[in-house]
Structure 1
Amino acid sequence: MYKMFVMILVLVMVSSSVNHVYAAQLDAAIAKDSQEFTPTYQFTRIITINHDGDSELEQLIENDKIFFDINKDNTAIVSQINSEIRQKSFAKVTDVTGTYSAIISVQEKSIGIEYRIILKPTIQNHFVGDFDTLDSQWRGFSIDDAIPVDTIHGVYDINSPASALALSNVKALEYLSGTGAMEVLQTPLIDAAGISQFPLHRWESMFDPTAKMSETADFGFSGTVITNYSMGICTVYLGLCEDKEMYLEFTIDGEDYSIRSIESQDDATIVIEGYVSESKLGQVEIFAIQDAPMIDPENDMQAVTLYGMAGLGVAATVAFFVVSDRKAKRTSSEQTGIDPANLQSVPISSSAGGYRTNRGTSQLKN
């Protein structure tokens, strides 16, 4: 039983502390009575193409780094995000800024491409009717079509992984065309749908008084309590992290290749000023903001989880001390080894010219 408690506690601590690179990561701070706010979406993906070494693809492709800013003049992305979220949300995106990066690394038997896109849309109309009801459906979206952006490299589709190869490794992209690799290289990068598909009642939430600190004024908070909502936490009791992965094998002119796309599960943190709880208007999920906390003990899973883990820790501690105490008593009160009754004293020296003292050693009796 003691070992079982220790194993569970170790698993909880390890799984809770592992850092992950998230496919889509959302960070948002929404102040009370705000007219607009600017969340940050980060999209990350790593694609690896493996080969046996000295392949034709290795000869065609070169290391490359692509970086550029996404400015407010790129209205196409604004209309595409609005087209997606207006089907489910009252919120509206007025402009988008951000950055794009793709790094191509050629190794001995592999080619890696790492993508990172950061989008910062300005969102308005996020309150519904009054400032006590906050729309939540803006939090996740996905775009399947091309997203053309004007850059220093010309018009660039930031939604297609193949764009990184099309810019400076055209021959390598042509070599891969028509193979299974293109299925991975054409899977859209802008996909945060999992954030809106994960129901709000399964998010972790906690009231936090740190909004009263002067540093939070940068977020427009007025000095009241804030509520933290988060998803994507990986633990034994909430569920372990599951990576999103695609894997395909293909052959070109007798050369064998494999391509793998990896991105971790979605992650999000939404900080809202006030005491907030999740609710619904019909089938639409919303955040309800109150002046005082609304706590339902029967449905407060956070409290159940916290008390449950605390109880588990206490039980493990008690078990540890009980076992240790029993071992200590056994060591101090029980005789182990040879019974002294079976021993007899023997002088240290009996050789000629030697001398004897009252000191001696012991041996078993015959």
Structure 2
Amino acid sequence: MSRAVILTVLLASLIVVGTSSPAWAAQLDARINPNNDSSPFKMSYLKTVFLEYSNGGELFDALRDKEWVVSGTADSSDPGVVQLIKKLNQGIKADGSQARISDMTVTYNFHLNARNINTSIDYRVILEGTLTDYVITKDSQRTLVDLGWRGLSADGEIIVDGIDINLPLNILREKEPTAFAIIDTPEAEDVLKKPLINADFILAQPLTNWHFLFDPTGINVDAGTFGLDKEISGFVVSSWTMGESSLREGRQVERVFEAEINADQKYVVRSVQSSDQGNLYTIGFGALDVLDGVEIVGVTPKPPEGYATTSTGDFPIMIVYGMAGIAAIAGIAFFFVSSRSLKNEKVGQQGIDPSRLVGYQTSASSGGYQTNRGEAQLKDDTSYQKTRSVYENTAPQETVTPPPTDANREEAACGCAASAEMGSECDCAMQGSCLCDATCQCTADLCKEQAHSMS
């Protein structure tokens, strides 16, 4: 039973992880053309709220098998969109920026999905609009562009198509009144009343901490993203991005707000948002500055003379070249030292002088032929006695003296006599038979027995 419970919990956890949608908080994407009076921008706001009931209870019963989606699109003809544009412009002005939003379209999507141990509600609102009045000054040398407008945030209710798109609390109260009544506590309200349309962190992160890149080769491919044609070929494009964990931006983590509710069971309300992300692009080379407390960028058609940078910001290209030069010098030094080491090595014959060696023949005749094999030995053994192997067997070897043969022996009567000339007198015994008669004088036992039997 315990094993079944553990497997059930693991399976439920995998289902929750596999079906949960990621929450990416606020995402900014804007492409500024300083030569135009207006430029497009896009801002996305995402948040996920979890209602957790691991022990079941009335909240589980109220949300059992529930799933619904509320979505829609509205433009500036909707009073709610006009209200949102007004609130955003008020926030931009409060931040010290002179830029304004002139037009905007709102797309929203809210998705509730109930599961066995929790219910998730994904909130998504996307703003796509037109930004104006971002050029501060412009002359033949450079253009000052206002970037202090990027913290697009709005508080309170924003009613679009009769639906509050800003406070997660209200749509849950409207669509699921029974479930909301169970968790309607000050702690849960504090989590659910945090506005969805909030990009304060994007503004709070200084642009000097953003990741900077510029493309000096022209933007043929990217021309369409600015609404321009190929005539802008050859212009520089600068970009600033944020949202990664780094030494510049610090460690980026999820923003989680949580509250526990004690009703018939213990419930948890959790709001999850990932770190904000931002992408700013401008035509021309951008140099950051601050004007009256507002971050701005000075844009020129081309980078200053002699300026070079990498993706990490103001990192001089000469340092990169210097490091490459040091590596080249180290390589040359390595080959130089190696060459001198080779020259210092001994060249020619090493070991024993060949003039001190003498050859000895080691082969002997066998039958009707003789092999040509031999070995080299020292003429004198002075050095050999000093360096000979300690494992060499120094025991005296026994000298085998062949038995004398009878010159008057009848070779035809003794089969061993034929091999006597080759130093193998007992060849007949080695073959396991004897060809000897009574006149044979061979000392082999086999021959003696044969000779005795014939006498």
TM (normalized to structure 2)? 0.59
Aligned length: 293
Find the structure with the greater CA-based Rg.
2
CA distance in structure 1 between the aligned counterparts of 2:60 and 2:119, rounded to whole angstroms: 8
Please name the residue that 1:102 is paired with.
110
Contact 2:187-2:260 within 8 A present in 1 as well? yes
Pair 1:133-2:144 in alignment: yes
Aligned partner of residue 28 in structure 2, secondary structure: strand
Please name the residue that 2:84 is paired with.
77
Query: What are the Cα deviations for residues 307-352 of structure 1, in whole angstroms up to 9, with x where unaligned?
Result: 79xx8xx99xx9xxxxxxxxxxxxxxxxxxxxxx99xxxxxxxxxx
Which structure's relative contact order is higher, taking Cα pairs within 8 Å and 6+ residues apart?
1
CA distance in structure 2 between the aligned counterparts of 1:168 and 1:260, rounded to whole angstroms: 19
Query: What are the Cα deviations for residues 123-179 of structure 1, in whole angstroms up to 9, with x where unaligned?
Result: 110101227010011111321221111x2xxx1111100233133212222222234
Pair 1:143-2:150 in alignment: no
Match of 1:116 among 124, 131, 149: 124
CA distance in structure 2 between the aligned counterparts of 1:89 and 1:35, rounded to whole angstroms: 16
Query: What displacement does 1:77 show?
Result: 0.8
What are the within-5 Å matches in structure 2 for residues 267-282 of structure 1? 267-282=277-292
Query: What displacement does 1:232 show?
Result: 1.1
CA distance in structure 2 between the aligned counterparts of 1:188 and 1:57, rounded to whole angstroms: 24
Contact 2:210-2:249 within 8 A present in 1 as well? no
Query: What displacement does 1:251 show?
Result: 0.6
1:293 maps to amino acid: P
Pair 1:158-2:159 in alignment: no
Please name the residue that 1:334 is paired with.
none
CA distance in structure 2 between the aligned counterparts of 1:166 and 1:210, rounded to whole angstroms: 54
Pair 1:182-2:189 in alignment: yes
Contact 2:213-2:311 within 8 A present in 1 as well? no
Is the alpha carbon distance of 1:227 and 1:259 closer, same or farther for their aligned partners in structure 2, counting shifts above 3 Å?
A: same
Which of 158-167 and 100-109 deviates more? 158-167
Consecutive unaligned residues of structure 1, counting only runs of 5 or more, are 1-19, 319-340, 343-366
Please name the residue that 1:288 is paired with.
298
Superposition RMSD in Å: 3.1
CA distance in structure 2 between the aligned counterparts of 1:292 and 1:69, rounded to whole angstroms: 40
Please name the residue that 1:56 is paired with.
58
> Identical aligned pairs, as a percentage?
25
Which of 130-139 and 287-296 deviates more? 287-296
Pair 1:192-2:215 in alignment: no
Contact 1:179-1:250 within 8 A present in 2 as well? no
Pair 1:169-2:176 in alignment: yes
Please name the residue that 1:24 is paired with.
26
More strand by share: 1
Query: What are the Cα deviations for residues 217-253 of structure 1, in whole angstroms up to 9, with x where unaligned?
Result: 3413422110011111224675332111111212113
TM (normalized to structure 1)? 0.72
CA distance in structure 2 between the aligned counterparts of 1:287 and 1:25, rounded to whole angstroms: 21
Please name the residue that 2:211 is paired with.
204
Please name the residue that 2:240 is paired with.
229
Contact 1:275-1:290 within 8 A present in 2 as well? yes
CA distance in structure 1 between the aligned counterparts of 2:207 and 2:247, rounded to whole angstroms: 20
